[in-house]
Structure 1
Amino acid sequence: MTLPQQTTTSTDVGKLIGSVERFRNEGYRLVQIGCTKVGDLYEINYCFDKDYHFENLRITITGDTEVPSISGMYWNSFIYENEMHDLFGIQVRGMNIDFKGTLFRTAVKYPFSQPPVTVTKGDKP
């Protein structure tokens, strides 16, 4: 069995809404939004599907970049957007439901934006 080809297209944060609108107009469903810290930057992947064909849209931003919400086009995206805010500190503008930092309770504010912790054998916590 071969898996269908997936494409990943990088875009600027300023073109995000127009790119997402194209997917919506073509009948794609939102599969998920994922955020990852890569060095000092954040990579946000928006994944869409239509007829088992996956398309990924990627933006790469700094921590102080404000990202527009896509919840006006994909209502369910508010969960992913609140997650990006609470775990990474990404500021998302215009969410249809904004938990204002209370979707997740964490001991550390924005835990996934922190530098990684290295523990060496014999170190005490």
Structure 2
Amino acid sequence: MALEIEFAPLSVEELPALAAEKKAEGARFVQLLAVNTEEGIDLVYTFMKGGVLTNHEIKGVGPDMTVPSITDQFLAAFVFENEAHDLFGVSISDIAIDFGGNFYALSQKEPMTIISPEQKAAREKAKKLAAAKAAKERQAAATAAQAEYLAGHPDAQAGSKPRGPIEPSGSDDLDARLAGVDPEKVARVKAALAAKAKKAAKAEAAAKESALEEKLAGMDPEKAAKVRAAMEAKAAREAAAQKEGE
């Protein structure tokens, strides 16, 4: 009898019910395959019964998603689920035998990704375009916020022409432009601008970290581990120096 192979789409929410159904009908769990794609991690759950091999695919699992374990139905799946977590960074909850990220002794904590030079160039270009778009949107939002504020506060614009986007709180220019405005309103404006500046700085730091991780992912694992160790040591020294200066 020839082996039949079937493929079917599957969602994260449907996974527990599928596992229970396969267990009830006497199917055998064969494997869990993880595949790294541009959209995220694809998970393929394979079951077999009566010479029919069925593959159920969950597409594009991202770092913010959690996949439920099927070890309550098929205990053997714990090996595959720990592997998907350690090697591909997939978050899987309630694994019956959970190694907590120590199923493999890895030289780096983050999952490894091998991409072609073309893929790397395309990703870097996409990141630059996204960063430029975000900067443009922030500039437009700042300009709009300034226009809205000045429209509702004639005293703030009397005797002066509107200039560029409001600078972060604490600048002499901002203090001069808000002179004469109700102190409570000034405090709210400055607090909002400070929060916005902090958010922008955080986003910039995240973008730099993401770019660095992309670069390290393409390195030899041993070399990448050394780079990470050197960076962590430098951060520790800077933190210690800052603490001493306080």
TM-score tier (shorter):
0.7 to 0.9
SS at the partner of 2:54? strand
What does residue 122 of structure 1 align with?
Answer: none
Shift of the alpha carbon at 1:3? 4.2
> Could you give the per-residue CA deviations for residues 6-50 of structure 1, whole angstroms, max 9, x where no partner exists?
111111101111112111111100001010111131110010011
Residue in structure 2 matched with residue 96 of structure 1 by the alignment? 96
Matched-pair identity in %: 27
Note if 1:25 corresponds to 2:24. yes
For 1:54-65, what aligned pairs fall within 5 Å after superposition? 54-60=53-59, 61-65=61-65
Using the alignment, how far apart are the partners of 2:80 and 2:34 within structure 1?
9
Q: Which amino acid aligns with 1:22?
A: E
**1 CA distance for matches of 2:64 and 2:47?**
26
Q: C-alpha displacement at 1:74, in angstroms?
A: 0.1
Q: Distance in 2 between matches of 1:13 and 1:42?
A: 12
The CA deviation string for residues 63-122 of structure 1, in whole angstroms up to 9 with x for no partner, is 22100000000011111000000001111000001100101011122333x35265xxxx
Aligned-CA RMSD value = 1.8
The separation in 2 between residues aligned to 1:117 and 1:43, in whole angstroms, is: 19
Letter in 1 for 2:74: Y
Aligned residues: 117
Structure with more of its chain in helix, by fraction: 2
Q: Does 1:107 align with 2:107?
A: yes
2:36 counterpart of 1:37: yes
The one-letter amino acid paired with 1:73 is Q
Q: Which residue of 1 aligns with 2:75?
A: 75
Aligned residue identity for 1:81: E
Taking the aligned partners of 1:65 and 1:25, their CA distance within structure 2 comes to 27
Q: Which has the larger radius of gyration?
A: 2
Which structure has more RCO (C-alpha within 8 Å, separation ≥ 6)?
1
Q: Give the match's secondary structure for 2:56.
A: strand
Higher strand share: 1
Shift of 1:4: 2.8
Paired with 1:4 and 1:117, the residues of 2 have a C-alpha distance of 35
Q: Give structure 2 stretches of 5+ with no counterpart.
A: 118-219, 221-246
Normalization by structure 1: what TM-score? 0.85
